[in-house]
Each structure stands twice: as C-alpha cells, then as structure tokens.
A and B are shown apart, each in its own frame.
Chain A
Amino acid sequence: MTQNVKTMEVEKQEVTATEDTERTRDCRCFVPRADIYEVDDQIVIVADVPGADENSIEVTLEKNILTINAYVEPVAPEGYSLAFAEYEIGDYQRSFRLSNEIDRDKIQATVKDGVLRLYLPKAASALTRKISVKAG
C-alpha cells in the first residue's frame, strides 16, 4: 500500500457550524482525520482523536448516520503560561453515512494512543458469494 502513503499534516480542520446551531461547549471542535478501509468482511474506520480516551468518546448510530464525538478537556497546567501555541485543543466530531450493508449490532470500537478504530462488519446478506461453475 505504499502508493497510498500520505505525508503527515500539521493543521487541524475545524468543524463548520451548521446553520442556526451553536455548540454548547465553549471550546473549538475539529474534524478528526480518518482512514477508511475494507477488509474481507468488514469496514474499518480509523480516526485520530489525540487527548480522548475510552470514557470521553461517544459513538452513536442513528438511522444510518454514524457519529463520532470525542471530548477533550483543554489542559492548562497550573503556574504555567502559554509561551507559544502551534495547535489548539478541542473536541472532535465527525459523521459518516453508512450503507445498509453493515451489521449494526456487531459494530465494535477501540481506542489506543489517541486513535479510534471502529470495526463495522458487513451483514451476512452483503457478503460476496462465490458461485462455483460446474462443467455440465
């Protein structure tokens, strides 16, 4: 998969507010960078959510919209002042529209080192079936 390798980017992309709505939390919100790949019988979503852990990530599935919400508490170490900043700390939010081929009951999520992984198994009906060809 070397042809796919991307270089690491520094800047975070901020969530664009939808019309007439405002965020209730007074901090910035970013779109986590994500990889999505498909292996045999499942689709894997990998998203960067540095600073969030298993207790601060919410994954919800409503109808066919899968939403990732990760809440990150900004740290302000006591007695220190920010000398300079190149990145901002904030929440993460992103939604994906799933196709009907996903087996919703078996979705799994893990988080490690600030990377969220969602495993979406394909429904049995959507698995590709191989049809053997008989000589006759």
Chain B
Amino acid sequence: MMYRRYRVSPMWREMDRLQQEMSRLYEEFRPPRWRVAPAYPALNVWSSDDALLVTAELPGVSSEDIEVSVVGETLTLSGVRKPDELKEGARYHRQERGYGKFSRTLQLPFPVKVEGIEASFKNGVLQIHMPRAEEDRPRKIAVKTA
C-alpha cells in the first residue's frame, strides 16, 4: 500500500474512496449480533430513558475479583480470571478455556449517578445498573399560556 501514497494517480484515489464507501455500507448493514467485542469480556448494553444496564458473561470469575469503576462518563470493568488449582500430576487432555487479566472501558452515552450504581453477579453473569444523572435527565418544560 505504501507505494500509492507517493505517486497517487487520481484513479487510485477514486478507487480508495469507493472502497471506503463500500466498507462503510457493509458496516451499516451488519446485523448487530455480528459486532465483535474488541477485548474480553463481550458486553451487552441496554438503555432506557433514565438508566443503563451493562451485562457481561464472566464464567469462573469470582465476584471479589471483579472491579467496576465509573469516572466521568467512562465505565471501566477489570478483573482476573484465575485458572483451576490443579493437584500435582494433573494432566490436561483438552484446554479451551482461557485465563488471565482483563480490562474494558466503555464510553457511556450520558453521565450517570455514581452513588446509584449497582452491580450484581449471578451464575457467571455480571449486571451493572447505572441510573442517569439527575441533571442530565430530559426535562419537561411546561408551556404557559400568557
């Protein structure tokens, strides 16, 4: 690709633009389920007018190893997934489950009320419930008749 940058013919420029346009189109028509998480764990985000709900599947992680923090409008979820403690002489036949530290940050669509954040962990599924900050809630303005 490097050679194009120096001696770009107008035709190539046009092709590049077309290519970009095409990938943008494909991106748009992708069903949401194809969205691939950039890092572990995969997150689902639910939203309503006055709250956000973030869920993640973290099987095998214990609740004390999960850290959730919110700074401004950024949610950070980090933790560690520990491997099984194996007895001496144990031998793996198959290993597909991964271990290690993980960390994800998520930009929230609106400021949240930090005191109202609740996180629960059940059956390996984490749920973080975040109420929208009072000052950010849409306000209804009464129209007075003069």
Contact = CB atoms under 8 A, between A and B. Distances in A.
Interface string B29-42: 00011011101111
B12 interface: no
B42 A10 contact: yes
Contacts of A82: 32, 44-46
A86 B91 contact: no
Which of A40, A114, A115: most chain B Cβ within 10 A? A114
Nearest to B90: A39
Nearest to A78: B48
Nearest to B62: A113
B94 A35 contact: yes
Given A4-B92, A53-B123, A10 B40 contact: yes
Interface in A1-48: 1, 4-11, 33-40, 43, 46, 48
Nearest to B40: A8
A51 B48 CA distance: 23
Contacts of B113: none
Contacts, number: 150
Residues of B in contact with A, size category: 35 or more
A118 to B, nearest CB: 13
Contacts of B46: 77, 80-83
Given A37-B92, A52-B123, A85 B60 contact: no
Given A43-B93, A46-B84, A75-B55, 18 more contacts: A1-B86, A4-B92, A8-B102, A11-B37, A34-B96, A37-B92, A37-B93, A38-B90, A40-B89, A48-B59, A49-B124, A79-B48, A82-B32, A82-B46, A85-B45, A87-B44, A88-B33, A114-B59
Interface of B: 32-33, 35-37, 39-48, 51-53, 55, 57-63, 81, 83-84, 86-87, 89-100, 102, 109, 121, 123-125
In order of increasing CB-CB distance, the 10 nearest A-B pairs are: A114-B124, A114-B59, A8-B98, A50-B124, A87-B42, A86-B42, A50-B57, A80-B46, A86-B37, A48-B59
Interface of A: 1, 4-11, 33-40, 43, 46, 48-53, 75, 77, 79-88, 113-115
26 contacts: A4-B95, A5-B83, A5-B100, A6-B97, A8-B99, A33-B96, A35-B96, A35-B97, A37-B91, A38-B93, A39-B89, A39-B90, A50-B124, A51-B124, A51-B125, A77-B53, A81-B46, A82-B44, A83-B47, A83-B52, A83-B109, A86-B43, A87-B37, A113-B63, A113-B124, A115-B124
